[in-house]
Amino acid sequence: MIRVNAERLWSTLEMMAQIGGTPAGGVTRLALSEEDRIARNLLRDWALDAGFTCDVDSMGNMFIRRAGKNPHLAPVMTGSHVDTQPLGGNYDGVYGVLAGLELLRTLNDHQLETERDIVLVNWTNEEGARFAPAMLASGVWTGQFSEAYAHARADSDGISVGEALESIGYRGEAPARAFPVHACYELHIEQGPILEDEALDIGLVRAAMGQRWFTLTLDGFAAHAGTTPMHSRRDALTAFSELALKVEEIGYRHAPDGRATIGMAQVTPNSRNVVPSRVVCSVEFRHPALTALEAMEAALHKV
């Protein structure tokens, strides 16, 4: 039986976790940041040192390839992403990338030649923490988004994806366009408690969570907190509180697979003695069934 080098895999995970590592544990490595550039360079160097090629497309997607016997056959793909959420975990995404790298290294160690090429991919901005939407570059690669749309997406500081790609040196010349793939596997940590609660070491994914993202604006009227009677107020935060509970209800109505989350909320003017005039918030629904997602969206409009 052939086994990967567990110590080597663990070493690469620990080294990668230091890039953007936080004092309390975890890591902040936002897409196309300086930390992302360092992580990408390290991944590329590991790949080149092992004798693999590394190509980068116009969205910054990295494709590390170990050649097989027949280059005319569609390759087998594996991989994930190295960008993280703010204060993200050490293994989300990057485990799938580095486990794929270890697979390729292990094949080298045993001098095994595969029939097909094996391609390890690092997708750009899978998390969507810095640039919305998530899965942006893989979305361009699969034809869901245009390259122009993706390059124009901007972060909270007004920096576009195209500008950020240029600044870290990962805007490749080849267009981000899908090529035939024989099969694709992604190794991933479980980000929820289910396997742990059931004392299971590993599971197989039965479905992917479809997502719907919304940005909602609730407008009220700013008023003095000390002089404006309760009956005269148009408090945007109070309306938001009711909305938040209704969104939670939508999630429960579509249990066990439904998810409903408000992850961001910005209050204006955000002063302790002013009745809030505006709340801008995110609403996210997830469900593996398209019909359920559509029903959740319809329920949100009704709310």
Task: Give the domain extent around 254.
Answer: 210-302
Based on the fold, state whether residues 153 and 110 are members of the same structural domain.
yes
CA distance 79 to 101: 8
- Which pairing describes strands 118-122 and 62-66: parallel, antiparallel, or unpaired? antiparallel
Other beta carbons within 10 Å of 196: 10
| Residue 247 to residues 222, 241, 260, 294, Cα–Cα distance (Å) | 25, 10, 6, 14
- Any idea which residue has 């809030």 for tokens? 276
Question: Could you tell me if 58 and 176 are in contact, meaning their C-beta atoms sit under 8 angstroms apart?
Answer: yes
H helix runs in 172-289, sequence order: 194-197, 236-253
Beta strands across the sheet bearing 53-56 = 53-56, 62-66, 118-122, 76-80, 183-185
CA distance 168 to 234: 46
Based on the fold, state whether residues 268 and 181 are members of the same structural domain.
no
DSSP label of 75: P
Is 204 inside any structural domain? Answer: no
**What are 67-96's pLDDT values in tens digits?**
999 999 999 999 999 999 999 999 999 999
Based on the fold, state whether residues 26 and 165 are members of the same structural domain.
yes
CA distance 100 to 89: 19
Q: What is the pLDDT of residue 205?
A: 87
Is 119 inside any structural domain? Answer: yes
Based on the fold, state whether residues 175 and 123 are members of the same structural domain.
yes
Question: Could you tell me if 303 and 245 are in contact, meaning their C-beta atoms sit under 8 angstroms apart?
Answer: no
Ordered per-residue pLDDT tens for the chain, 303 residues: 899 999 999 999 999 999 999 998 899 999 999 999 999 999 999 999 999 999 999 999 999 999 999 999 999 999 999 999 999 999 999 999 999 999 999 999 999 999 999 999 999 999 999 999 999 999 999 999 999 999 999 999 999 999 999 999 999 999 999 999 999 999 999 988 989 999 999 998 888 899 999 999 999 999 999 999 999 999 999 999 999 999 999 999 999 999 999 999 999 999 999 999 999 999 999 999 999 999 999 999 999
Domain C-terminal end among 172, 197, 222:
197
Is 82 inside any structural domain? Answer: yes
Tokens of 209: 């969570």
142: CB partners within 8 A, 6+ apart = 178
Domain count, the chain: 2
Domain C-terminal end among 197, 232, 250:
197
Is 264 inside any structural domain? Answer: yes
Based on the fold, state whether residues 119 and 224 are members of the same structural domain.
no
Based on the fold, state whether residues 23 and 120 are members of the same structural domain.
yes
